A and B are shown apart, each in its own frame.
Chain A
């Protein structure tokens, strides 16, 4: 028969024979897309400098990864979008002031990108095997190596093309040094402070300032089921409760949770950094524990630590615990009743 395929042409492979459309790179590009609103707002408020920093981080990340693949003679998988995403996140976590040639600071994003992609991700085994969130290690490395450069915050109101801008303190910095009353004074009143924090016209890292823009991206990821509510809700919820109880001056239960939720890197961290698949627990129950841990540590550092902001270190510390949490919180096997007990007896 003409139409009959010759037998040796048939493809033989294992079941299942159909697969979903989802791919790793589609996830990476979707998360990058979800970061677009926050990126745009950051560029709007901090000007072209911000765009240069983000672009520099992305290019450095991709080039670093290509360089690594070349050196170790591995097939390049840079197209999976994970280096792009790491670069984008890293750029969003940097101050726009780094685009400066006197003092010369543009090497900071480049080296941070290398540390993020090559040291934190590839040297630990590549995508899927890194213990720590690469972008956050990149940022932590930069903060510890160049603490001065990393804490020069520009005013968000500079002219778009201006290459120099007035510097100022971040809301969290003011909160830490001078208290909530002073912070409200600077922004006018409470509502004005909240509005500024929501929209993003305040000092801070490029991509962290606009709570609304981040929320739009986060809700997009939620609606597409790229993330679930577990980590953001438990992270933000715990931080809010902590801020309310311990954040006030003197008396307990007098803190302002809204200021804490909307300032610093809380929103960006809870929606985009703590939810990184590789470095957070796989189990839903474990993710709640992870989120609570992030929230607790963030607030402890903010209220009692030496830094005004604690999101980065909180997530990095919890990254260490993610594998342990996964071990402790196992799934319930269908039909199993006393799974844990029978296990113990066996050993």
Chain B
């Protein structure tokens, strides 16, 4: 019997050793932070501060506008010096609040409540909401929305995603090694809020020490189970994780809650614990700064709004011949055009790749129908057909090949011997037709 997993997927070199053994250290307090008012999926926040205003750490500076939204907090104490549009990692312009750090590190009221588990579920949920917690695996979906399933959807399991299947990244791994108890507490809080008895923590088996640590931390907790999963990308995709752990398949275009499951990332679980116990808002996160192109790979606890250029500097700067700087992992991350982009709640890593390691995609060959992408696709699609149809402009026909079930994991483009930009062609087709 092999380890639990899903059908399809790929095995890229995991490259985790670059940063895996660097304990999480707090990054230097930034002199200035640029905090985007939209760091999550959903409506951008409305700013509630004005230029010149003094704010403290943890103070709300943007209020959620709508149900699928999440508040934004100041990550330093200091003065609001500007409010303007700044580019985010995807290159879009986002309204942001710029705060100059006064170095005093003054918090808004933070109170330790060790008895947080006795709070009623509604109150715990309120704390998650007020703390601005979003999915920290990268998608940045507001957590409170996941915790508010419609009545007819019966949730019976909470999954903590410790797969961290993106190569290079080690942020979740470090948290599981360094704060396993807190992660388990986060899971317990989630179980309480959702009123479920079963919680699972799924970890890819290339992190055996994390599996051991988490098992130790979960020992004696009723209903909490830690599982080692097969090492295979994209094991950490929500649907694949649910399939591996529970054997359930989320139907096309449905949500995990449709099969009774809520999935949260390891980092999110920690943030939930800190919110429930201390009322600490999400103003910092672990960012793995890594790759062959950076001098000193590190796992840093970084304030939201810190410029990526500051992190690069803190990690010793670039080596010679840098080609690409990526926000996120190598499979689904975004290549940055500027280092003046700020770290957001969804920034799991900064990956620096040397130019020599980059496969340029400006030249690609025809599809030779080798089936590698079909075997690799975790969603059971035909990426070969999607790419050919999109290339020829047959976008409606691409829909017939389940275009909108693709979540752009990149497994197809990874294995393609013709180096076809399949993901890009899929995105193009998606933008040309209605779902």
Q: Which residues of A contact B (CB under 8 A)?
A: 1, 3-5, 7, 9-20, 22-24, 26-27, 77, 80, 125-129, 277-278, 280, 282-284, 330-337
A-B pairs with beta carbons under 8 Å apart, 20 shown = A3-B317, A3-B319, A4-B312, A7-B339, A9-B322, A14-B427, A15-B408, A16-B413, A17-B353, A18-B12, A18-B167, A19-B416, A20-B414, A22-B415, A27-B368, A128-B366, A128-B369, A129-B366, A282-B371, A334-B380
User: Is there an interface contact between B405 and A10, defined as CB atoms closer than 8 Å?
Assistant: no
Q: Which residues of B contact A (CB under 8 A)?
A: 10, 12, 167, 239, 243, 249-252, 254, 295, 309, 312-313, 317-320, 322-326, 330-339, 351, 353, 355, 357-361, 365-372, 374, 377-382, 384, 402, 405, 408, 410, 413-419, 421, 423-424, 427
Q: Given that A282-B384, A333-B405 are known contacts, is A277 also in contact with B421, CB under 8 Å in the complex?
A: no
User: Is there an interface contact between A80 and B365, defined as CB atoms closer than 8 Å?
Assistant: yes
Secondary structure at the A interface, as helix, strand, loop or mixed, is loop
Nearest CB in chain A to that of B168: its residue: A18
Q: Report the separation of the CA atoms of residues A126 and B366 in the bound assembly, to the nearest whole angstrom.
A: 9
Q: Report the separation of the CA atoms of residues A334 and B7 in the bound assembly, to the nearest whole angstrom.
A: 9
Nearest CB in chain A to that of B362: its residue: A13
B137 CB to closest chain A CB (Å) equals 15
User: Is there an interface contact between A16 and B415, defined as CB atoms closer than 8 Å?
Assistant: no
Q: Report the separation of the CA atoms of residues A14 and B12 in the bound assembly, to the nearest whole angstrom.
A: 17
Tell me which residues across on chain B come within 8 A of A129, comparing CB atoms.
366
Q: Please report the number of residue pairs spanning A and B whose Cβ atoms sit closer than 8 angstroms.
A: 169
Nearest CB in chain A to that of B372: its residue: A22
Tell me which residues across on chain A come within 8 A of B324, comparing CB atoms.
10-13, 17
Tell me which residues across on chain A come within 8 A of B295, comparing CB atoms.
3
Given A18-B330, A20-B415, output 12 extra A-B contacts at Cβ < 8 Å. Answer: A3-B295, A4-B312, A5-B318, A10-B338, A11-B335, A11-B355, A13-B335, A15-B335, A15-B408, A19-B359, A20-B416, A27-B370
Q: Given that A4-B312, A334-B249, A335-B250 are known contacts, is A278 also in contact with B369, CB under 8 Å in the complex?
A: yes
A96 CB to closest chain B CB (Å) equals 31
Q: Report the separation of the CA atoms of residues A7 and B337 in the bound assembly, to the nearest whole angstrom.
A: 7
Tell me which residues across on chain A come within 8 A of B382, comparing CB atoms.
282, 330-331
Q: Report the separation of the CA atoms of residues A18 and B358 in the bound assembly, to the nearest whole angstrom.
A: 7
Q: Report the separation of the CA atoms of residues A13 and B427 in the bound assembly, to the nearest whole angstrom.
A: 13
Q: Report the separation of the CA atoms of residues A129 and B333 in the bound assembly, to the nearest whole angstrom.
A: 33
Q: Report the separation of the CA atoms of residues A77 and B413 in the bound assembly, to the nearest whole angstrom.
A: 21
User: Is there an interface contact between A4 and B374, defined as CB atoms closer than 8 Å?
Assistant: no
Nearest CB in chain B to that of A22: its residue: B417
User: Is there an interface contact between A10 and B335, defined as CB atoms closer than 8 Å?
Assistant: yes
Q: Report the separation of the CA atoms of residues A77 and B368 in the bound assembly, to the nearest whole angstrom.
A: 14
Q: Which of A9, A18, A127 has the most CB of B within 10 A?
A: A18
Q: Report the separation of the CA atoms of residues A1 and B309 in the bound assembly, to the nearest whole angstrom.
A: 11
Q: Report the separation of the CA atoms of residues A335 and B255 in the bound assembly, to the nearest whole angstrom.
A: 11
A247 CB to closest chain B CB (Å) equals 33
User: Is there an interface contact between A23 and B370, defined as CB atoms closer than 8 Å?
Assistant: no
Q: Report the separation of the CA atoms of residues A129 and B377 in the bound assembly, to the nearest whole angstrom.
A: 22
Tell me which residues across on chain B come within 8 A of A330, comparing CB atoms.
382
Q: Report the separation of the CA atoms of residues A279 and B8 in the bound assembly, to the nearest whole angstrom.
A: 23
Q: Report the separation of the CA atoms of residues A277 and B382 in the bound assembly, to the nearest whole angstrom.
A: 15
